[in-house]
Amino acid sequence: GYRVKRAGSVLFMGSMGGSLLAYLFFVILARALQPGGLGAVGALVNVFAITMVPGLGLQLVAARRIAPLADDEHAVRRHVARTTVFAALLVGAVVAVVLAGVSAPLADALHLDSLAPVLGVVGSAVPMTVTYAVIGLLQGQERFARVGAAYLGIGVARAGSAVLAVVTSSGPTGVMAWFAAGWFAIALASLGLLRTADGASAPTHDSAGTTPEVNDPWSTPGAAVIAADAGLTKTIRAGLVAAVPMSGLLILTSMDLLLARHFLSRADSGAYTVGALFEKVAFWGPSFIATLYYPAMSRPSDRRNAIRRALTVTIAIGAVGIALAAFLGTPLVTLVGGSEFSWLGPTAWIFTAVGVGFAVAQVLVYADLAGGHHGVGYAVWLAAATAAALVWTTGHHSTTAVITSMGLAVAGLVLLALVIVRWSARSRSTL
């Protein structure tokens, strides 16, 4: 209805604006760094994308817990929010420690001159995890204007870090330091959005100055179950379970840049980073659709229609993007990366198509998780293994070979995921 369209428009503007600003990060750096340095930053940012997995798992868990609660169940909402944020702090700290422990072999695999650039990724782990956990709390309450504002803030922080890196003449190490600082800023801003949202939903006072009577949220059966399930240990465990499919998806969407950095020359890995911008925009641009429909996917009565609409809109937007990349590939590549990368123009549509495949897969992952299933998550891991095998064995002699190998794996994933989601829906309907 009108409410969904209005919420979708607000969320679209915030998330799309955030995505464009986030990839302005690379547009700015493409003109300030040498191809080798740009390739290093691109690989590190994709390592960071993999570390987002626990945060995205907590986001989905928080949204799924908040979504069924009524507007007057404030105590349960606050309980879920406090536990989720504390869990995010602990999980983010663990991610940072693990990443610090593997920083030496990681720097060696990515052909970095020192460990210092990796520390920017380490420093981003805690604020990033907190940010996505907060977004999940806002998402579950269907406060999509605030969710859109958070996504826009992420883009502003990333673009701002690139500008500051250029102004201070920073290399990859300085770029990643500013990158981490941006995540601390957006984490604080997101917590502010959550705090004011909680205040906005609190009971109001009547003309006599008394608080209107509301139902005791702890006595509502559904709310009591959610509150009991929202302890710290259970929240972390649920977030890790939800992270299984999300980890596969983020590894799949990030591995091509890492493989390109490993197999291609430094100059070609920098060129691949420019081409991958089309892939990433095509993936993250429509990501607001899965976010918008996820609460509805979590409600059995709305689930089927929500999945159908999410897939339809994602595919429609993706088709437009592929067509634009096919007809305007060379000028778009030149605009994004400069004339030295114009030779990538004819392959821009392939990068875009792979990104659209990622976006469709994300909708199907969300749909499966919302129904309490994990089949699509296993399919994503299978696709990641397939893509790695294809690139590792035969598809690493050029940028076109790498992205084509990724495209074959993603096409197979989308077909398999569609079958899994459809089978899950039929199985549930027969119970």
pLDDT by residue for the chain (431 residues), tens only, comes to 545 556 667 777 887 788 778 778 888 888 788 877 888 888 888 788 888 888 888 888 888 777 766 565 667 677 778 888 999 999 999 999 999 998 888 888 888 878 888 888 899 999 999 999 999 999 888 888 898 899 899 989 989 988 998 888 888 888 899 999 999 999 999 999 888 765 544 444 444 444 444 444 444 445 544 554 556 777 777 777 777 777 788 788 888 888 888 788 778 888 888 888 899 889 987 888 888 888 888 777 788 888 999 999 999 999 999 999 999 989 998 888 778 888 888 999 999 999 999 999 999 998 888 777 778 888 999 999 999 999 888 767 788 889 999 999 999 999 999 999 887 666 554 33
For residue 417, the SS3 value is helix
Alpha helices per DSSP H over 264-347: 266-284, 287-297, 303-337
> CA separation (Å) from 150 to 187, 195, 205, 328?
9, 13, 30, 31
Structure tokens at 252: 């799949």
Alpha helices per DSSP H over 168-301: 172-200, 221-229, 232-263, 266-284, 287-297
What dihedral do alpha carbons 292, 293, 294, 297 form, nearest 10°?
A: 170
Alpha helices per DSSP H over 338-374: 348-370
What dihedral do alpha carbons 236, 237, 242, 248 form, nearest 10°?
A: 100
Using an 8 Å Cβ cutoff, are 365 and 421 in contact? no
Phi–psi pair at 58, nearest 5 degrees: -65, -35
Amino acid identity, residue 172? P
Using an 8 Å Cβ cutoff, are 137 and 88 in contact? no
Amino acid identity, residue 362? Q
Amino acid identity, residue 53? V
Structure tokens at 298: 């979590």
How many whole angstroms separate alpha carbon 400 and alpha carbon 58? 36
Q: CB within 8 A of 173, min separation 6: which ones?
A: 114, 116, 117, 120
Check: pTM over 0.85? Answer yes or no. no
Count of CB atoms situated within 10 Å of the CB of 93: 13
Kindly state the helix (H) or strand (E) to which residue 347 belongs, with its residue range.
none
How many whole angstroms separate alpha carbon 204 and alpha carbon 191? 22
How many whole angstroms separate alpha carbon 50 and alpha carbon 48? 5
Structure tokens at 213: 């009577």
Q: CB within 8 A of 302, min separation 6: which ones?
A: 296
Q: CB within 8 A of 269, min separation 6: which ones?
A: 35, 36, 39, 42, 43, 257, 260, 261
Q: Residue 235: how many CA atoms within 13 Å on its side-chain side?
A: 30
Task: Count the residues in the chain.
Answer: 431
